[in-house]
Copies of this chain bind each other. A is one copy, B any other.
Amino acid sequence: MLSPKKAPRANNNIEPLFQPRSIAIVGASSNRRSQGFDFVDGLVQFGFPGAIYPVNPRLDELLGLKVYPRLEAIPGRVDFVISAVPAGAVFEVVKGAKKKGVKLIHFFTARFSETGRADDAEAERELRRVTQEAGIRVIGPNCMGVYYPKRRITFDPWAMEGPGNIGFLSQSGSHAFRVIGRGKKRGLRFSKVISYGNALDLNEVDFLHHFADDPDTDIIAAYIEGVRDGRRFFQALAYAAGRKPVLVLKGGRTAAGDAAASSHTAALASQRRVWQVAVGQAGAFEVGSLSELIDMLVTYRNAGPVRGNRMAVLGGAGGGTVECADLCNEAGLELPPMPQSVREALREDIPHAWDWLGNPVDMSIVGPGGGGKETQIMELMAAAPEYDGIILNLPIERVLNRLGGDRLPQEALDRLRRLGTDNNKPLVVSVEEPESRDKGMVQAVLDARDAIGEAGIAVFTDIERAILAMSRYIQYEARREVLKADV
């Protein structure tokens, strides 16, 4: 396999590019439905501490900021330019940026090589030539650019959370949005998210090296559609994976006109196999869909340290409990029986069922009068040395009904989290789709799920996903141990 130690370092440290003291948005717009507005609005709302310079010859003022007709008209220094102008206007932007000594341009501007048209591809090559000549580094074109919470840089007021420890490089802007948006509710926070589109200059190799060395990043995620240089890419991947867990989602190809062709089975399938083997050899982990990527990030971020595959399971009720057992079993997880010590400890409180309860615990046996006993049972199970981890199929409607409110109190969230943290074991929780048709209860269930996620507990919308995530997490971490030993 590729040795992470032998992987060549990138020649350049790109972090300074992401620390601009001023940002100009060329193509800033007063149309609230345009991205030219959102870029400015995002920086203002997120509180970017440097200067924000909107640029548009047809505006004087935007969101309380003075608008400049051209880059050259800006009095101060400009470190970073975001381009939201149409494709035909990018060369003017580069010219102005060169004069202002700009270091980095992010081209949100699209309609280059991705259209599959010869003249658009030629324009992209020309853009590479002129930016290279001007000594300007480029992110894009055709992408959302940089989300860097620590520096309060964002591409959208929807993305404005505090910083976290996940670095995500995404060739797709919509995937960047989805991972930030869906991840937010599940407790994911990011060191940086970089949507880099057509990768004219800065690309997956640069960003992998960057995140590998970034002290703020503990977990790396990548969505990649195509790589420019396979050898350099897999070296960078091995370098990163030797330092941190790296989760990779491979998309087809960006040239949208070729979407159908790229789905042509034979070619894709053989490429895919090569890709899978190479990713595995580099020590990274391939995921099969965006949902799985988010699930695995949630698990890596929140589930806690891996010890082994013997699980204590609260299985919900009845058939749900049986399903938990089957799914765990199929996913390679072991379910040791309820220890005698736990049984004895429950004898007094659950006289009718203490000898009958098993693992998974079937809450319908404890009965509707068993209020609160699920917590007691799970605390005993979670602490038992017979188990390495905890899987909860939370009977959330029952819990909310019992607590008599429409939200989980902080104390309940704390006890839930402590099932894992007090015992230093991974914990995953499923809060399933509400069965109730009462709108208030449906909303309460969704709110409870978000609250659990935001409390830093690995939460899932389906017990199947929770079990698969726990199983993959254990497998991945076991492989990382082996790879570390190899090095």
A265 cross-chain contacts in B, Cβ below 8 A: 329, 334
Given A174-B318, A254-B322, A437-B158; A359-B259 close (CB under 8 Å): yes
Q: Which residues 218-241 of A sit at the B interface, judged by CB distance below 8 A?
A: 223, 225
Interface segment, one of A74-82, A362-370, A477-485: A362-370
CB <8 Å contact, A251 and B326: yes
Smallest Cβ distance from A87 to chain B, in angstroms?
Answer: 11
A360 interface residue (CB < 8 Å to B)? yes
CB <8 Å contact, A327 and B289: yes
A405 interface residue (CB < 8 Å to B)? no
CB <8 Å contact, B258 and A320: no
A443's contact among B173, B321, B443, by CB below 8 Å, is which?
A: B443
- The CA of A257 and the CA of B325, in the complex, are separated in Å by 12
- The CA of A326 and the CA of B250, in the complex, are separated in Å by 9
Q: Mark A316-335, 1 if CB is under 8 A from B, else 0.
A: 11111111011111100011
With CB as the reference atom, state the residue of chain B lying closest to A181: B435
- The CA of A442 and the CA of B182, in the complex, are separated in Å by 12
- The CA of A461 and the CA of B327, in the complex, are separated in Å by 21
CB <8 Å contact, B290 and A259: no
A263 cross-chain contacts in B, Cβ below 8 A: 325-326, 328-329, 334-335
Q: Which residues 284-331 of A sit at the B interface, judged by CB distance below 8 A?
A: 288-291, 315-323, 325-330
Smallest Cβ distance from A256 to chain B, in angstroms?
Answer: 5
A109 interface residue (CB < 8 Å to B)? no
- The CA of A342 and the CA of B267, in the complex, are separated in Å by 26
CB <8 Å contact, A356 and B257: yes
Smallest Cβ distance from A310 to chain B, in angstroms?
Answer: 11
A214 interface residue (CB < 8 Å to B)? no
Smallest Cβ distance from A163 to chain B, in angstroms?
Answer: 18
CB <8 Å contact, B338 and A182: no
- The CA of A251 and the CA of B323, in the complex, are separated in Å by 6
A409 interface residue (CB < 8 Å to B)? no
CB <8 Å contact, B174 and A256: no
Q: Which residues 396-437 of A sit at the B interface, judged by CB distance below 8 A?
A: 433, 435-437
A358's contact among B250, B259, B364, by CB below 8 Å, is which?
A: B259
With CB as the reference atom, state the residue of chain B lying closest to A368: B33
Residue from A158, A251, A261 having most chain B Cβ neighbours under 10 A: A251
A175 interface residue (CB < 8 Å to B)? yes
- The CA of A433 and the CA of B183, in the complex, are separated in Å by 11
A253 interface residue (CB < 8 Å to B)? yes
CB <8 Å contact, B256 and A356: yes
With CB as the reference atom, state the residue of chain B lying closest to A171: B319
- The CA of A317 and the CA of B177, in the complex, are separated in Å by 11
A318 cross-chain contacts in B, Cβ below 8 A: 172-175
A446 interface residue (CB < 8 Å to B)? yes
Could you list some 23 contacts between A and B, CB below 8 A?
Answer: A117-B355, A158-B437, A172-B318, A172-B322, A174-B318, A175-B318, A175-B319, A175-B320, A177-B435, A178-B319, A181-B435, A223-B319, A251-B319, A251-B322, A252-B322, A253-B322, A256-B321, A259-B321, A259-B325, A259-B360, A260-B335, A261-B337, A442-B446
